[in-house]
């Protein structure tokens, strides 16, 4: 059996993970986890985002959704600010996810080159 301190530590870790997914923060980050998103690598992106929030203690909520409807741009990450303004990032991998967290969530600076509008202009 675990000690009381071990159990408290497990409880605190579980509460922190729940708050990351359901809590209130400065940003809400949504990962498209439909079939096409998962097939394109959305799960490692989601895991990276969660790890970055935990590591850097960012003020944001990480959630997942089903199909976003733009399969060609998967994995897709949407970032909503306090005012409800949405930035949609396309073709995201774990490295890009770390950069988005550092710049957009950490400093409030959108990483324009990964946005849908930037991606559309390259096509």
Write out pLDDT tens, residues 73-107: 999 999 999 888 999 999 999 999 999 999 999 99
Please name every residue paired with 61 in a beta bridge, in sequence order, or none if there are none: 28
- Rounded average pLDDT over 7-25: 66
Average pLDDT, the chain: 87
Q: For residue range 48-66, what is the model confidence (pLDDT) as tens digits?
A: 999 999 899 888 899 999 9
Pick the CATH number of 31-122 from 1.20.1250.20, 3.40.50.1100, 1.10.150.120, 3.40.30.10: 3.40.30.10
* Domain extents in the chain: 31-122
Query: What pTM does this model have?
Result: 0.78
Which one is predicted more confidently, 26 or 122?
26
DSSP structure class, residue 115: B
């Amino acid at each position: 059996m675990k000690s009381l301190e071990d159990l408290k530590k497990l409880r605190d870790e579980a509460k922190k993970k729940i708050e990351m997914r359901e809590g209130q923060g400065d940003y809400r980050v949504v990962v498209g986890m439909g079939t096409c998103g998962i097939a394109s690598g959305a799960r490692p992106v989601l895991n990276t985002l969660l790890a970055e929030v935990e590591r850097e203690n960012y003020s944001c909520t990480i959630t997942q959704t089903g199909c976003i409807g733009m399969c060609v741009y998967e994995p897709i990450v949407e970032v909503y600010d306090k005012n409800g303004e949405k930035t949609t990032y396309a073709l995201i991998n774990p490295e890009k996810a770390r950069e988005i967290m550092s710049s957009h969530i950490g400093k409030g600076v959108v990483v324009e080159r990964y946005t849908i509008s930037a991606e559309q202009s390259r096509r």
